[in-house]
Amino acid sequence: MHKVLIVTYYWPPAGGPGVQRVLSFTRYLPQYGWEPVILTVENGDYSSEDPSLIEQIPNNINVYKVPAREPFNLYRRLTGKNKGEKIPSHILGSQKNPSITERLARFIRLNFFIPDARIGWIQSLVKKGLEIIRDEKPHIILSSSPPHSLQLAVQKIARKTGITWVADFRDPWTDFFHYQEKGRLYPARFLDQLFERRVLKAVDAAVSVSPSVIKLLTAKFPQLKSIVIFNGFDHQKFETISSSSHTRFTVFYAGNMRKSQNPEPFLHALQSMIADGKDNISFRIAGSIHPDIQNILDTMALKDYCTFLGYLEHRDVIQEMINADLLLLLIPDTPKNEGIITGKLFEYIASGNPVLGLGPENGDAAAILNETKTGQMIDYRKDPGPVLELYYSKFLEKKEQKHTVLPDTVYKYSREMMTQTLAEYLDELA
- For residues 288 and 255, give the distance between their C-alpha atoms in angstroms, rounded to a whole number: 7
* Residue 290 and residue 164 share a domain: no
In b/e form, how buried is each residue of 220-237, taking b as 16+ CB within 10 angstroms? Answer: ebeebebebbbbbbbbeb
**Residue-level pLDDT at 316:** 92
- Domain span at 297: 235-411
Predicted TM-score (pTM) of the model is 0.85
Instruction: Return phi, psi of residue 14, to 5°.
Output: -60, 145
* Residue 276 and residue 134 share a domain: no
187-221 tens-digit pLDDT: 999 999 999 999 999 999 999 999 989 999 999 99
219-232 tens-digit pLDDT: 999 999 999 999 99
Q: What is the mean pLDDT of residues 317-323?
A: 93
* Residue 9 and residue 69 share a domain: yes
* Residue 226 and residue 187 share a domain: yes
* Residue 316 and residue 205 share a domain: no
* Residue 164 and residue 20 share a domain: yes
249-295 tens-digit pLDDT: 999 999 989 888 999 999 999 999 999 999 899 999 999 899 889 98
* Residue 15 and residue 131 share a domain: yes
CATH assignment at residue 254: 3.40.50.2000
Residue 247 CB coordination number (10 Å): 7
**86: pLDDT confidence band, cut at 50, 70 and 90?**
low
Q: What total of structural domains would you count in the chain?
A: 2
Helices and strands (H, E) in the chain, number of each type: 17, 13
* Residue 212 and residue 76 share a domain: yes
Question: What is the SS3 assignment for 107?
Answer: helix
* Residue 401 and residue 320 share a domain: yes
* Residue 277 and residue 243 share a domain: yes
Structural element, H or E, at residue 35? strand 34-41
* Residue 62 and residue 168 share a domain: yes
pLDDT of 2 over the 90 cut? yes
* Share above pLDDT 70 across residues of the chain, in percent, rounded to a whole number: 90
